A and B are shown apart, each in its own frame.
Chain A
Amino acid sequence: DIQMTQSPSPLSASVGDRVTITCRASQSISHYLNWYQQKPGKAPKLLIYTASNLHTGVPSRFSGSGSGTDFTLTISSLQPEDFATYYCQQTFDNPLTFGGGTKVEIK
């Protein structure tokens, strides 16, 4: 199985900060990497698909990059509504797997 490792966790930041979350796969997954945001008591929401594509309706301050084994999710200027937990997921191989999550907390 492909293991997905996220860092850091948690991440403490302030409104307006540039935030970067890293996701590393245990083997190459090409560009089959997605990012989700989850707020307490809510279902996850898709942010970024296939490493760098912004899902419909997601603010442009979110961006993704990477390929192979190393990926990043960047929030260019953290907003109050962005405090949440972020998960990466690989869809390259069965079983699909998620990273452990990165909780973005208020500093």
Chain B
Amino acid sequence: EVQLVESGGALVQPGTSLRLSCAASGFTFDDYAMHWVRQVPGKGLEWVSGINWNSNSVGYGDSVKGRFTISRDNAKKSLFLQMNSLRPEDTALYYCAKGFGEAFYYYYLDVWGKGTTVTVSS
């Protein structure tokens, strides 16, 4: 069974850092791009970041560019999101999602995890 399991969400103070992880199973991880998508409770979906299969190409949404860094470890079948300089507006449920192809653009997101919650508050 194809599965994505996020972890690392927490309650943190503004200005601090947090690292999210996503463990993949049930598919050949290094064949596919991966993504992070977030959702404020009661609001819409926001694409946060994507990374292609070999980490050579990454992309970020405007609201996180320069603060968040996406990475992956194909040997460990894991995706990461390093979040620095966190702001209250980063509070959201963060989903890990699998892209259908090698590049993070062009292809759709066909498998999603259940998400991990990040709360940024003093």
Contact = CB atoms under 8 A, between A and B. Distances in A.
Interface of A: 1, 32, 34, 36, 38, 43-46, 49-50, 55, 87, 89, 91-101
B62 A1 contact: yes
24 contacts: A1-B62, A34-B109, A43-B112, A44-B112, A46-B109, A49-B110, A50-B108, A55-B110, A87-B44, A91-B107, A94-B50, A94-B59, A94-B105, A95-B47, A95-B59, A95-B62, A96-B35, A96-B59, A96-B105, A98-B45, A98-B46, A99-B44, A100-B44, A101-B44
A1 B37 CA distance: 17
A67 B46 CA distance: 22
Interface of B: 35, 37, 44-47, 50, 59-62, 95, 100, 104-110, 112-115
Given A44-B112, A96-B59, 4 more contacts: A43-B114, A91-B106, A92-B106, A99-B44
Contacts of B45: 36, 38, 44, 87, 89, 98, 101
Contacts of B109: 34, 36, 44, 46, 89
Given A34-B108, A95-B62, A43 B115 contact: yes
A32 B62 contact: no
A94 B113 CA distance: 22
Contacts of B108: 34, 46, 49-50, 89, 91
Contacts of A92: 105-106
Nearest to A38: B45
A101 B39 CA distance: 12
Contact of A43 (B46, B62, B95, B100): B95
Nearest to A43: B112
A98 B37 CA distance: 10
Q: In the A-B complex, list the 9 residue pairs whose CB atoms are closest, starting with the nearest.
A: A94-B59, A43-B112, A49-B108, A34-B108, A96-B47, A98-B45, A101-B44, A95-B61, A100-B44
